[in-house]
Structure 1
Amino acid sequence: MSVKKLAILGAAHGHISYVTDALATRSDVELVALADHDEARRASYGAKLGVPGYADMTSLLARHDIDAAAVIAEPGLRAGLIEACLERGLFVIADKPLALTVAEVDRIAKADGGRNRVALMLEKRFYPVTRKACELFLGGEIGDLVAITSTGPHKLLPSARPAWFFDPSLYGSIVNDLAVHDIDLVLWLTGARSGRVSGWKSPACPEKHAGFALAGRALLTLETGLQAVIDMDWRQPEAAARHGDYAMRLIGTRGRMDILFGEGRLLVETDSRSLWEPDLPAPIGPADDALDALTGKAPLQVSTAEALLASRIAALAAASAEEGGHDYRW
Protein backbone atom coordinates (compact mmCIF):
# COMPACT_ATOMS: atom_id res chain seq x y z
CA MET A 1 0.00 0.00 0.00
CA SER A 2 1.32 3.41 -0.98
CA VAL A 3 1.43 5.81 1.97
CA LYS A 4 0.83 9.48 1.17
CA LYS A 5 3.07 12.07 2.82
CA LEU A 6 1.30 15.06 4.36
CA ALA A 7 2.57 18.30 5.88
CA ILE A 8 0.66 20.87 7.91
CA LEU A 9 1.11 24.50 6.85
CA GLY A 10 0.09 26.68 9.76
CA ALA A 11 -1.35 25.65 13.10
CA ALA A 12 -3.28 28.83 13.80
CA HIS A 13 -6.66 27.29 14.53
CA GLY A 14 -7.87 24.42 16.68
CA HIS A 15 -9.33 22.85 13.54
CA ILE A 16 -5.89 21.32 13.10
CA SER A 17 -7.38 18.52 15.21
CA TYR A 18 -9.75 17.67 12.35
CA VAL A 19 -6.72 16.47 10.42
CA THR A 20 -4.62 15.01 13.22
CA ASP A 21 -7.54 13.08 14.74
CA ALA A 22 -8.33 11.57 11.34
CA LEU A 23 -4.69 10.63 10.75
CA ALA A 24 -4.64 8.74 14.04
CA THR A 25 -7.17 6.29 12.60
CA ARG A 26 -5.43 5.70 9.25
CA SER A 27 -2.32 3.97 7.97
CA ASP A 28 -2.46 5.28 4.39
CA VAL A 29 -1.41 8.88 5.19
CA GLU A 30 1.64 9.91 7.24
CA LEU A 31 2.22 13.33 8.77
CA VAL A 32 5.89 14.13 8.14
CA ALA A 33 6.36 17.82 9.04
CA LEU A 34 4.75 21.14 9.81
CA ALA A 35 5.57 24.75 9.02
CA ASP A 36 4.43 27.78 10.98
CA HIS A 37 5.85 31.30 11.13
CA ASP A 38 4.91 31.48 14.81
CA GLU A 39 7.80 30.01 16.80
CA ALA A 40 5.73 29.08 19.85
CA ARG A 41 3.08 27.25 17.82
CA ARG A 42 5.75 25.56 15.74
CA ALA A 43 7.54 24.23 18.81
CA SER A 44 4.36 23.21 20.60
CA TYR A 45 2.74 21.33 17.74
CA GLY A 46 6.02 19.85 16.54
CA ALA A 47 6.55 18.29 19.96
CA LYS A 48 2.92 17.22 20.31
CA LEU A 49 2.77 15.59 16.89
CA GLY A 50 6.31 14.24 16.87
CA VAL A 51 7.33 15.87 13.59
CA PRO A 52 9.96 18.47 12.68
CA GLY A 53 8.85 22.08 12.45
CA TYR A 54 9.96 24.74 9.97
CA ALA A 55 9.51 28.49 9.82
CA ASP A 56 8.07 28.46 6.30
CA MET A 57 6.89 26.25 3.47
CA THR A 58 10.07 26.69 1.43
CA SER A 59 12.27 25.38 4.23
CA LEU A 60 9.94 22.42 4.74
CA LEU A 61 9.90 21.46 1.07
CA ALA A 62 13.69 21.63 0.91
CA ARG A 63 13.80 18.73 3.36
CA HIS A 64 10.65 16.72 2.61
CA ASP A 65 8.93 15.30 -0.46
CA ILE A 66 5.21 15.49 0.23
CA ASP A 67 2.02 14.62 -1.62
CA ALA A 68 -0.32 17.00 0.17
CA ALA A 69 -0.57 19.89 2.59
CA ALA A 70 -3.18 20.79 5.19
CA VAL A 71 -3.43 24.59 5.26
CA ILE A 72 -4.62 25.78 8.67
CA ALA A 73 -2.73 29.06 8.86
CA GLU A 74 -4.39 32.35 9.69
CA PRO A 75 -7.18 32.93 7.13
CA GLY A 76 -5.43 35.94 5.64
CA LEU A 77 -2.40 33.78 4.79
CA ARG A 78 -4.23 30.79 3.35
CA ALA A 79 -4.76 31.85 -0.26
CA GLY A 80 -1.04 32.41 -0.88
CA LEU A 81 -0.12 29.07 0.67
CA ILE A 82 -2.81 27.22 -1.28
CA GLU A 83 -1.69 28.79 -4.56
CA ALA A 84 1.92 27.84 -3.84
CA CYS A 85 0.92 24.25 -3.09
CA LEU A 86 -1.14 23.92 -6.25
CA GLU A 87 1.67 25.36 -8.36
CA ARG A 88 3.88 22.54 -7.00
CA GLY A 89 1.31 19.88 -7.86
CA LEU A 90 0.30 19.19 -4.26
CA PHE A 91 -3.15 18.17 -3.09
CA VAL A 92 -4.54 20.70 -0.59
CA ILE A 93 -6.72 20.18 2.46
CA ALA A 94 -7.93 23.57 3.67
CA ASP A 95 -9.72 24.88 6.71
CA LYS A 96 -12.44 27.44 6.17
CA PRO A 97 -12.50 30.23 5.23
CA LEU A 98 -10.60 29.28 2.10
CA ALA A 99 -9.82 32.94 1.35
CA LEU A 100 -10.88 36.42 2.41
CA THR A 101 -11.67 38.09 -0.91
CA VAL A 102 -13.17 37.27 -4.28
CA ALA A 103 -9.80 37.99 -5.90
CA GLU A 104 -8.13 35.39 -3.66
CA VAL A 105 -10.80 32.80 -4.46
CA ASP A 106 -10.32 33.46 -8.17
CA ARG A 107 -6.55 33.05 -7.87
CA ILE A 108 -7.01 29.69 -6.18
CA ALA A 109 -9.43 28.63 -8.92
CA LYS A 110 -6.88 29.60 -11.57
CA ALA A 111 -4.09 27.73 -9.80
CA ASP A 112 -6.25 24.60 -9.49
CA GLY A 113 -7.22 24.79 -13.15
CA GLY A 114 -10.19 22.48 -12.74
CA ARG A 115 -8.08 19.59 -11.40
CA ASN A 116 -10.22 19.16 -8.26
CA ARG A 117 -7.16 19.33 -6.00
CA VAL A 118 -8.51 21.49 -3.16
CA ALA A 119 -10.56 19.87 -0.40
CA LEU A 120 -12.25 22.41 1.87
CA MET A 121 -13.30 20.94 5.22
CA LEU A 122 -16.98 21.91 5.17
CA GLU A 123 -17.82 19.50 7.93
CA LYS A 124 -21.49 20.43 8.25
CA ARG A 125 -22.08 18.45 5.04
CA PHE A 126 -21.09 15.30 6.88
CA TYR A 127 -22.98 15.70 10.14
CA PRO A 128 -25.46 12.84 10.60
CA VAL A 129 -28.34 15.35 10.93
CA THR A 130 -27.40 17.07 7.67
CA ARG A 131 -27.09 13.88 5.66
CA LYS A 132 -30.43 12.60 6.94
CA ALA A 133 -32.13 15.94 6.27
CA CYS A 134 -30.82 15.89 2.70
CA GLU A 135 -32.04 12.32 2.22
CA LEU A 136 -35.53 13.18 3.47
CA PHE A 137 -35.73 16.41 1.49
CA LEU A 138 -34.65 14.77 -1.76
CA GLY A 139 -37.19 12.03 -1.04
CA GLY A 140 -39.95 14.64 -1.04
CA GLU A 141 -40.73 14.54 2.69
CA ILE A 142 -41.50 18.26 3.00
CA GLY A 143 -42.29 19.04 -0.64
CA ASP A 144 -40.66 21.88 -2.54
CA LEU A 145 -38.64 24.47 -0.67
CA VAL A 146 -40.39 27.71 0.25
CA ALA A 147 -37.58 29.32 2.28
CA ILE A 148 -34.43 28.53 4.27
CA THR A 149 -33.34 30.20 7.49
CA SER A 150 -30.29 29.46 9.58
CA THR A 151 -28.67 30.77 12.71
CA GLY A 152 -25.09 30.36 13.88
CA PRO A 153 -24.36 31.63 17.39
CA HIS A 154 -20.80 31.00 18.61
CA LYS A 155 -19.03 31.64 21.90
CA LEU A 156 -16.43 34.37 21.44
CA LEU A 157 -14.42 33.89 24.67
CA PRO A 158 -12.17 36.83 23.73
CA SER A 159 -9.52 36.22 26.39
CA ALA A 160 -8.88 32.78 24.89
CA ARG A 161 -8.53 34.04 21.31
CA PRO A 162 -5.13 34.73 19.72
CA ALA A 163 -4.27 38.29 18.70
CA TRP A 164 -4.66 37.53 14.98
CA PHE A 165 -8.35 36.76 15.52
CA PHE A 166 -9.06 40.47 16.00
CA ASP A 167 -6.88 41.62 13.08
CA PRO A 168 -9.10 41.97 9.97
CA SER A 169 -6.13 41.44 7.64
CA LEU A 170 -5.64 37.98 9.15
CA TYR A 171 -9.14 37.02 10.32
CA GLY A 172 -11.34 38.73 7.75
CA SER A 173 -14.87 39.20 9.06
CA ILE A 174 -17.68 37.33 10.74
CA VAL A 175 -19.57 36.96 7.46
CA ASN A 176 -16.62 35.53 5.57
CA ASP A 177 -15.78 33.17 8.43
CA LEU A 178 -19.12 31.82 9.63
CA ALA A 179 -21.47 32.00 6.63
CA VAL A 180 -19.66 29.64 4.27
CA HIS A 181 -20.94 26.41 5.85
CA ASP A 182 -24.60 27.31 5.45
CA ILE A 183 -24.04 28.85 2.02
CA ASP A 184 -22.60 25.50 0.97
CA LEU A 185 -25.60 23.64 2.40
CA VAL A 186 -28.04 25.90 0.54
CA LEU A 187 -26.22 25.27 -2.75
CA TRP A 188 -25.99 21.53 -2.03
CA LEU A 189 -29.68 21.15 -1.22
CA THR A 190 -30.98 23.29 -4.08
CA GLY A 191 -28.40 22.73 -6.81
CA ALA A 192 -28.38 26.51 -7.38
CA ARG A 193 -25.54 27.90 -9.46
CA SER A 194 -26.52 31.55 -9.81
CA GLY A 195 -28.31 34.26 -7.89
CA ARG A 196 -27.69 37.34 -5.77
CA VAL A 197 -26.21 37.91 -2.33
CA SER A 198 -25.98 40.79 0.11
CA GLY A 199 -24.45 41.04 3.55
CA TRP A 200 -24.81 42.92 6.82
CA LYS A 201 -22.71 43.26 9.94
CA SER A 202 -23.67 44.61 13.33
CA PRO A 203 -22.08 47.84 14.56
CA ALA A 204 -21.84 46.25 18.03
CA CYS A 205 -18.32 45.16 18.97
CA PRO A 206 -16.75 43.48 22.01
CA GLU A 207 -14.94 45.63 24.54
CA LYS A 208 -11.35 46.44 23.47
CA HIS A 209 -11.95 45.15 19.93
CA ALA A 210 -13.45 47.97 17.90
CA GLY A 211 -14.41 46.94 14.38
CA PHE A 212 -14.94 43.28 15.24
CA ALA A 213 -18.64 42.78 14.48
CA LEU A 214 -20.55 40.64 16.96
CA ALA A 215 -23.20 39.61 14.43
CA GLY A 216 -23.68 39.33 10.70
CA ARG A 217 -26.04 38.14 8.00
CA ALA A 218 -25.91 36.87 4.44
CA LEU A 219 -29.05 37.00 2.29
CA LEU A 220 -29.04 34.68 -0.72
CA THR A 221 -31.64 34.97 -3.45
CA LEU A 222 -31.38 32.02 -5.83
CA GLU A 223 -32.20 32.13 -9.54
CA THR A 224 -35.52 30.43 -8.72
CA GLY A 225 -36.51 33.26 -6.36
CA LEU A 226 -36.00 31.13 -3.24
CA GLN A 227 -34.34 33.05 -0.42
CA ALA A 228 -32.03 31.83 2.32
CA VAL A 229 -31.35 34.01 5.36
CA ILE A 230 -28.11 33.07 7.10
CA ASP A 231 -27.56 34.72 10.49
CA MET A 232 -24.44 34.37 12.61
CA ASP A 233 -23.14 35.90 15.82
CA TRP A 234 -20.45 35.72 18.48
CA ARG A 235 -22.93 36.00 21.36
CA GLN A 236 -23.60 32.43 22.40
CA PRO A 237 -23.61 32.96 26.20
CA GLU A 238 -20.41 31.84 27.87
CA ALA A 239 -22.38 29.77 30.39
CA ALA A 240 -24.27 27.92 27.64
CA ALA A 241 -23.88 24.14 27.49
CA ARG A 242 -22.70 24.18 23.87
CA HIS A 243 -20.18 26.27 21.94
CA GLY A 244 -22.96 27.11 19.51
CA ASP A 245 -26.64 26.30 19.01
CA TYR A 246 -26.35 26.26 15.23
CA ALA A 247 -29.57 25.42 13.41
CA MET A 248 -31.20 25.51 9.97
CA ARG A 249 -34.90 25.41 9.13
CA LEU A 250 -36.07 24.07 5.78
CA ILE A 251 -39.61 25.28 5.07
CA GLY A 252 -41.42 23.25 2.43
CA THR A 253 -44.78 23.17 0.70
CA ARG A 254 -45.80 20.09 2.73
CA GLY A 255 -43.86 20.47 5.98
CA ARG A 256 -40.63 21.60 7.59
CA MET A 257 -37.40 20.30 9.06
CA ASP A 258 -35.34 21.82 11.84
CA ILE A 259 -31.71 20.74 11.64
CA LEU A 260 -30.27 21.28 15.11
CA PHE A 261 -26.57 20.94 14.40
CA GLY A 262 -25.49 21.85 17.92
CA GLU A 263 -27.74 19.27 19.54
CA GLY A 264 -27.35 16.62 16.85
CA ARG A 265 -31.12 16.36 16.38
CA LEU A 266 -33.39 16.50 13.34
CA LEU A 267 -37.03 17.50 13.87
CA VAL A 268 -39.48 16.76 11.07
CA GLU A 269 -43.13 17.83 10.90
CA THR A 270 -45.43 17.58 7.87
CA ASP A 271 -49.07 18.13 6.96
CA SER A 272 -49.69 14.39 7.26
CA ARG A 273 -47.40 13.45 10.16
CA SER A 274 -46.84 15.04 13.56
CA LEU A 275 -43.41 15.91 14.90
CA TRP A 276 -40.89 13.05 14.73
CA GLU A 277 -37.15 12.48 14.90
CA PRO A 278 -35.63 10.04 12.40
CA ASP A 279 -32.75 7.70 13.14
CA LEU A 280 -29.44 9.18 12.04
CA PRO A 281 -26.54 7.64 10.10
CA ALA A 282 -23.07 7.16 11.55
CA PRO A 283 -20.84 10.25 11.73
CA ILE A 284 -18.16 11.06 9.16
CA GLY A 285 -15.09 12.99 10.29
CA PRO A 286 -14.40 16.52 8.99
CA ALA A 287 -11.20 15.49 7.17
CA ASP A 288 -12.31 12.04 5.98
CA ASP A 289 -13.57 13.28 2.61
CA ALA A 290 -10.26 15.01 1.89
CA LEU A 291 -8.09 12.10 3.01
CA ASP A 292 -10.17 9.57 1.08
CA ALA A 293 -9.69 11.66 -2.06
CA LEU A 294 -5.96 12.07 -1.42
CA THR A 295 -5.46 8.32 -1.15
CA GLY A 296 -7.75 7.46 -4.05
CA LYS A 297 -10.24 5.68 -1.82
CA ALA A 298 -13.13 7.83 -3.07
CA PRO A 299 -13.68 11.02 -5.09
CA LEU A 300 -14.23 14.30 -3.28
CA GLN A 301 -17.80 14.61 -2.05
CA VAL A 302 -17.32 18.37 -1.69
CA SER A 303 -15.70 19.13 -5.02
CA THR A 304 -13.23 21.96 -5.45
CA ALA A 305 -15.72 23.72 -7.73
CA GLU A 306 -18.38 23.56 -4.99
CA ALA A 307 -15.93 24.81 -2.37
CA LEU A 308 -14.85 27.68 -4.60
CA LEU A 309 -18.43 28.76 -5.32
CA ALA A 310 -19.46 28.73 -1.65
CA SER A 311 -16.27 30.63 -0.75
CA ARG A 312 -16.83 33.17 -3.51
CA ILE A 313 -20.38 33.87 -2.33
CA ALA A 314 -19.18 34.22 1.27
CA ALA A 315 -16.52 36.70 0.15
CA LEU A 316 -19.13 38.68 -1.80
CA ALA A 317 -21.43 38.74 1.23
CA ALA A 318 -18.55 39.96 3.40
CA ALA A 319 -17.73 42.70 0.89
CA SER A 320 -21.40 43.69 0.79
CA ALA A 321 -21.51 43.93 4.59
CA GLU A 322 -18.56 46.33 4.50
CA GLU A 323 -20.31 48.43 1.84
CA GLY A 324 -23.65 48.78 3.58
CA GLY A 325 -25.51 45.94 1.88
CA HIS A 326 -24.69 46.17 -1.83
CA ASP A 327 -26.35 43.42 -3.88
CA TYR A 328 -23.90 41.20 -5.80
CA ARG A 329 -24.63 38.66 -8.51
CA TRP A 330 -22.89 35.31 -8.44
Structure 2
Amino acid sequence: MERREGFNYIPEGKPAPVVRPGEFVFAAVGLNHAHIGGMINGLLEAGATLKYLFDPDKAKMEVYKKMFPQARIASCEEEVLSDPEVRLVASACVPSERCTLGLRAMDAGKDYFADKPPLTTLEQLESAKKKAERTGSKYAVYYSERIHNEEAVFAGELIKKGAIGNVIQTIGLGPHRLSAALRPDWFFVKEKYGGILCDIGSHQVEQFLYYTGASDAAVVRSQIANYAHPQYPELDLSLIHI
Protein backbone atom coordinates (compact mmCIF):
# COMPACT_ATOMS: atom_id res chain seq x y z
CA MET A 1 0.00 0.00 0.00
CA GLU A 2 1.14 3.55 -0.75
CA ARG A 3 1.14 5.32 2.63
CA ARG A 4 1.42 8.80 1.08
CA GLU A 5 -1.95 8.36 -0.62
CA GLY A 6 -4.91 9.14 1.63
CA PHE A 7 -7.14 6.27 0.53
CA ASN A 8 -4.57 3.74 1.74
CA TYR A 9 -3.24 5.61 4.80
CA ILE A 10 -3.47 3.56 8.00
CA PRO A 11 -3.10 5.62 11.21
CA GLU A 12 -1.24 4.37 14.25
CA GLY A 13 -1.58 5.76 17.76
CA LYS A 14 0.13 5.36 21.10
CA PRO A 15 -0.91 2.10 22.80
CA ALA A 16 -3.05 2.71 25.88
CA PRO A 17 -4.76 -0.58 26.80
CA VAL A 18 -8.03 -0.31 28.69
CA VAL A 19 -8.89 -4.03 28.59
CA ARG A 20 -6.91 -7.21 29.25
CA PRO A 21 -6.01 -9.67 26.44
CA GLY A 22 -9.08 -11.67 25.46
CA GLU A 23 -11.45 -9.44 27.42
CA PHE A 24 -12.82 -7.59 24.38
CA VAL A 25 -12.93 -9.63 21.16
CA PHE A 26 -13.77 -8.05 17.81
CA ALA A 27 -13.89 -8.87 14.11
CA ALA A 28 -13.30 -6.89 10.93
CA VAL A 29 -15.92 -7.48 8.22
CA GLY A 30 -15.81 -5.52 4.97
CA LEU A 31 -12.29 -4.47 4.00
CA ASN A 32 -13.02 -2.15 1.07
CA HIS A 33 -11.30 0.94 2.47
CA ALA A 34 -7.85 0.97 4.07
CA HIS A 35 -9.33 2.86 7.02
CA ILE A 36 -10.14 -0.60 8.38
CA GLY A 37 -6.43 -0.97 9.11
CA GLY A 38 -6.51 2.15 11.28
CA MET A 39 -9.68 0.95 12.99
CA ILE A 40 -8.06 -2.39 13.79
CA ASN A 41 -4.90 -0.64 14.99
CA GLY A 42 -6.90 1.61 17.31
CA LEU A 43 -8.77 -1.30 18.85
CA LEU A 44 -5.59 -3.33 19.29
CA GLU A 45 -3.85 -0.32 20.85
CA ALA A 46 -6.70 -0.19 23.38
CA GLY A 47 -6.09 -3.84 24.26
CA ALA A 48 -8.84 -5.51 22.20
CA THR A 49 -8.35 -8.91 20.55
CA LEU A 50 -8.87 -9.36 16.81
CA LYS A 51 -10.42 -12.78 16.14
CA TYR A 52 -11.71 -12.68 12.55
CA LEU A 53 -11.24 -11.05 9.18
CA PHE A 54 -13.89 -11.39 6.50
CA ASP A 55 -14.55 -9.94 3.07
CA PRO A 56 -16.15 -11.54 0.00
CA ASP A 57 -12.90 -10.69 -1.83
CA LYS A 58 -10.32 -13.28 -0.73
CA ALA A 59 -7.46 -11.10 -1.98
CA LYS A 60 -8.41 -8.37 0.50
CA MET A 61 -8.47 -10.88 3.33
CA GLU A 62 -4.99 -12.07 2.42
CA VAL A 63 -3.65 -8.49 2.47
CA TYR A 64 -4.95 -7.88 5.99
CA LYS A 65 -3.99 -11.35 7.17
CA LYS A 66 -0.37 -10.40 6.44
CA MET A 67 -0.81 -7.22 8.48
CA PHE A 68 -2.66 -8.94 11.33
CA PRO A 69 -1.52 -12.58 11.33
CA GLN A 70 -3.18 -13.28 14.68
CA ALA A 71 -6.63 -13.08 13.05
CA ARG A 72 -8.51 -16.00 11.54
CA ILE A 73 -10.02 -15.73 8.08
CA ALA A 74 -13.74 -16.38 8.52
CA SER A 75 -15.55 -18.55 6.00
CA CYS A 76 -18.54 -16.20 5.86
CA GLU A 77 -20.16 -13.26 7.63
CA GLU A 78 -22.45 -15.58 9.57
CA GLU A 79 -19.47 -17.31 11.19
CA VAL A 80 -18.56 -13.96 12.72
CA LEU A 81 -22.06 -12.89 13.71
CA SER A 82 -22.90 -16.24 15.31
CA ASP A 83 -19.79 -16.30 17.51
CA PRO A 84 -20.81 -15.24 21.04
CA GLU A 85 -17.22 -14.31 21.87
CA VAL A 86 -17.24 -11.46 19.32
CA ARG A 87 -18.47 -8.30 21.00
CA LEU A 88 -17.90 -5.78 18.20
CA VAL A 89 -17.85 -5.81 14.41
CA ALA A 90 -15.70 -3.18 12.67
CA SER A 91 -16.27 -2.40 9.01
CA ALA A 92 -15.01 -0.25 6.15
CA CYS A 93 -17.15 -1.85 3.47
CA VAL A 94 -18.64 0.23 0.63
CA PRO A 95 -20.33 3.22 2.37
CA SER A 96 -23.82 2.53 1.04
CA GLU A 97 -23.60 -0.99 2.51
CA ARG A 98 -22.32 -0.01 5.96
CA CYS A 99 -25.69 0.52 7.59
CA THR A 100 -27.22 -2.78 6.50
CA LEU A 101 -24.18 -4.65 7.81
CA GLY A 102 -24.43 -2.70 11.05
CA LEU A 103 -28.09 -3.61 11.47
CA ARG A 104 -27.24 -7.30 11.02
CA ALA A 105 -24.42 -7.05 13.54
CA MET A 106 -26.67 -5.33 16.08
CA ASP A 107 -29.40 -7.94 15.57
CA ALA A 108 -26.73 -10.52 16.43
CA GLY A 109 -26.04 -8.75 19.72
CA LYS A 110 -22.83 -7.04 18.63
CA ASP A 111 -21.78 -3.42 18.84
CA TYR A 112 -20.90 -1.93 15.46
CA PHE A 113 -17.94 0.28 14.53
CA ALA A 114 -18.24 1.81 11.05
CA ASP A 115 -15.77 3.81 9.05
CA LYS A 116 -17.00 7.25 8.09
CA PRO A 117 -19.40 7.93 6.52
CA PRO A 118 -21.32 5.42 8.64
CA LEU A 119 -24.27 5.54 6.23
CA THR A 120 -25.34 7.42 3.11
CA THR A 121 -29.05 8.24 3.43
CA LEU A 122 -31.40 9.75 6.01
CA GLU A 123 -33.49 6.59 5.80
CA GLN A 124 -30.47 4.56 6.90
CA LEU A 125 -29.89 7.00 9.75
CA GLU A 126 -33.42 6.45 11.04
CA SER A 127 -33.00 2.68 10.76
CA ALA A 128 -29.75 2.82 12.74
CA LYS A 129 -31.35 4.98 15.45
CA LYS A 130 -34.28 2.60 15.83
CA LYS A 131 -32.02 -0.46 15.89
CA ALA A 132 -29.76 1.03 18.54
CA GLU A 133 -32.78 1.91 20.65
CA ARG A 134 -34.34 -1.53 20.26
CA THR A 135 -31.21 -3.65 20.76
CA GLY A 136 -29.15 -1.47 23.08
CA SER A 137 -26.14 -2.05 20.81
CA LYS A 138 -23.84 0.82 19.87
CA TYR A 139 -23.39 2.18 16.34
CA ALA A 140 -20.01 3.93 16.58
CA VAL A 141 -18.12 5.82 13.87
CA TYR A 142 -14.42 6.04 13.04
CA TYR A 143 -13.68 9.73 12.42
CA SER A 144 -9.95 9.17 12.04
CA GLU A 145 -9.06 12.83 11.45
CA ARG A 146 -9.99 13.60 15.06
CA ILE A 147 -9.87 10.41 17.14
CA HIS A 148 -6.74 8.87 15.58
CA ASN A 149 -4.66 12.01 15.16
CA GLU A 150 -2.46 13.25 18.02
CA GLU A 151 -2.74 16.92 17.04
CA ALA A 152 -6.53 16.76 16.89
CA VAL A 153 -6.72 14.94 20.23
CA PHE A 154 -4.40 17.50 21.82
CA ALA A 155 -6.51 20.36 20.44
CA GLY A 156 -9.52 18.83 22.16
CA GLU A 157 -7.60 18.61 25.44
CA LEU A 158 -6.60 22.28 25.21
CA ILE A 159 -10.21 23.29 24.64
CA LYS A 160 -11.46 21.22 27.59
CA LYS A 161 -8.84 22.79 29.86
CA GLY A 162 -9.84 26.28 28.75
CA ALA A 163 -6.30 26.94 27.54
CA ILE A 164 -7.46 28.76 24.41
CA GLY A 165 -10.68 30.32 25.69
CA ASN A 166 -14.14 29.78 24.27
CA VAL A 167 -14.43 28.34 20.78
CA ILE A 168 -16.42 30.79 18.69
CA GLN A 169 -15.47 29.60 15.22
CA THR A 170 -13.98 26.52 13.62
CA ILE A 171 -12.63 26.16 10.10
CA GLY A 172 -12.03 22.71 8.68
CA LEU A 173 -10.06 21.97 5.54
CA GLY A 174 -9.91 18.49 4.05
CA PRO A 175 -7.76 18.44 0.92
CA HIS A 176 -7.28 14.96 -0.54
CA ARG A 177 -5.15 13.69 -3.40
CA LEU A 178 -7.38 12.17 -6.06
CA SER A 179 -4.97 9.35 -7.03
CA ALA A 180 -7.76 8.00 -9.22
CA ALA A 181 -5.80 4.97 -10.38
CA LEU A 182 -5.59 3.73 -6.80
CA ARG A 183 -9.27 4.16 -5.98
CA PRO A 184 -11.94 1.52 -6.61
CA ASP A 185 -14.84 2.13 -8.99
CA TRP A 186 -17.37 2.63 -6.17
CA PHE A 187 -15.52 5.74 -5.03
CA PHE A 188 -16.82 7.57 -8.12
CA VAL A 189 -20.49 6.56 -7.77
CA LYS A 190 -22.53 8.86 -5.50
CA GLU A 191 -25.09 6.19 -4.72
CA LYS A 192 -22.28 4.10 -3.24
CA TYR A 193 -20.00 6.65 -1.54
CA GLY A 194 -22.71 9.13 -0.56
CA GLY A 195 -21.33 12.23 -2.29
CA ILE A 196 -18.56 14.52 -1.12
CA LEU A 197 -20.57 16.27 1.61
CA CYS A 198 -21.36 12.91 3.17
CA ASP A 199 -17.95 11.32 2.64
CA ILE A 200 -15.44 14.08 3.45
CA GLY A 201 -17.71 16.78 4.87
CA SER A 202 -18.79 14.45 7.67
CA HIS A 203 -15.26 14.69 9.10
CA GLN A 204 -15.46 18.46 9.39
CA VAL A 205 -19.02 18.51 10.73
CA GLU A 206 -18.06 16.03 13.47
CA GLN A 207 -15.08 18.21 14.38
CA PHE A 208 -17.25 21.36 14.51
CA LEU A 209 -19.62 19.66 16.93
CA TYR A 210 -16.90 18.19 19.12
CA TYR A 211 -14.69 21.25 19.44
CA THR A 212 -17.59 23.60 20.12
CA GLY A 213 -19.29 21.25 22.56
CA ALA A 214 -22.47 21.34 20.48
CA SER A 215 -24.84 18.41 20.16
CA ASP A 216 -26.65 19.69 17.09
CA ALA A 217 -26.06 22.02 14.15
CA ALA A 218 -27.79 23.34 11.05
CA VAL A 219 -26.23 23.59 7.60
CA VAL A 220 -27.01 27.11 6.38
CA ARG A 221 -25.19 26.80 3.08
CA SER A 222 -23.41 24.09 1.10
CA GLN A 223 -21.89 24.00 -2.34
CA ILE A 224 -20.41 21.31 -4.56
CA ALA A 225 -18.53 21.53 -7.84
CA ASN A 226 -16.34 19.51 -10.17
CA TYR A 227 -13.81 21.77 -11.86
CA ALA A 228 -11.10 19.47 -13.14
CA HIS A 229 -12.34 15.90 -13.55
CA PRO A 230 -15.13 15.68 -16.15
CA GLN A 231 -14.29 11.99 -16.59
CA TYR A 232 -15.66 11.49 -13.07
CA PRO A 233 -18.99 13.38 -13.19
CA GLU A 234 -20.10 12.12 -9.77
CA LEU A 235 -16.93 13.31 -8.01
CA ASP A 236 -17.15 16.71 -6.29
CA LEU A 237 -15.40 19.36 -4.24
CA SER A 238 -17.42 20.85 -1.40
CA LEU A 239 -17.93 23.93 0.78
CA ILE A 240 -20.09 23.85 3.91
CA HIS A 241 -21.19 26.68 6.23
CA ILE A 242 -22.69 25.59 9.57
Name the TM-score class by shorter chain.
Answer: 0.7 to 0.9
Aligned residue type for 1:58: E
Contact 1:9 1:72 (C-alpha < 8 Å) held by counterparts: yes
User: Match for 1:16 among 29, 36, 44?
Assistant: 36
Aligned to 2:9: none
Equivalent residue of 2:60, what SS? Answer: helix
Aligned to 2:124: 104
Identity %: 23
Q: Take 2:142 and 2:190, find their aligned partners in 1: how far apart are those partners?
A: 22
Aligned residue type for 2:145: K
TM-score (norm 1): 0.58
User: Match for 1:125 among 146, 149, 153?
Assistant: 146
TM-score (norm 2): 0.77
Aligned residue type for 1:112: A
User: Match for 1:53 among 61, 73, 77?
Assistant: 73
Deviation digits for residues 296-317 of structure 1, max 9, x if unmatched? xxxxxxxxxxxxxxxxxxxxxx
Matched, 1:5 2:28: no
Higher helix share: 2
- Mapping of 1:263-278 within 5 angstroms? none
Shift of 1:176: 0.6
Contact 1:93 1:119 (C-alpha < 8 Å) held by counterparts: yes
Equivalent residue of 2:218, what SS? Answer: strand
User: Match for 1:180 among 189, 195, 202?
Assistant: 202
Structure 1 pair 47–131 and aligned structure 2 pair: CA distance change class (3 A): closer
Shift of 1:209: 1.5
Q: Take 2:80 and 2:159, find their aligned partners in 1: how far apart are those partners?
A: 46
Q: Take 2:39 and 2:171, find their aligned partners in 1: how far apart are those partners?
A: 30
Equivalent residue of 1:113, what SS? Answer: helix
- Mapping of 1:1-330 within 5 angstroms? 2-22=22-42, 25=45, 28-46=47-65, 48-50=67-69, 51-54=71-74, 56-61=76-81, 65-113=85-133, 115=136, 117-126=138-147, 127-197=149-219, 198-213=221-236, 215-220=237-242
- Count of aligned residue pairs for this structure pair: 218
Structure 1 pair 56–206 and aligned structure 2 pair: CA distance change class (3 A): farther
Identify the structure with bigger relative contact order (alpha carbons < 8 Å, sequence gap 6+). Answer: 1
Equivalent residue of 1:31, what SS? Answer: strand
Q: Take 1:112 and 1:69, find their aligned partners in 2: how far apart are those partners?
A: 14
Higher strand share: 1
Structure 1 pair 33–134 and aligned structure 2 pair: CA distance change class (3 A): closer
Deviation digits for residues 245-295 of structure 1, max 9, x if unmatched? xxxxxxxxxxxxxxxxxxxxxxxxxxxxxxxxxxxxxxxxxxxxxxxxxxx
Q: Take 2:204 and 2:63, find their aligned partners in 1: how far apart are those partners?
A: 33
Contact 2:55 2:61 (C-alpha < 8 Å) held by counterparts: yes
RMSD of aligned Cα (Å): 2.7
Uncovered stretches (5+) of structure 2, i.e. residues with no partner: 1-19
**Higher Rg of the two aligned structures:** 1
Q: Take 2:137 and 2:88, find their aligned partners in 1: how far apart are those partners?
A: 13
Shift of 1:24: 5.2
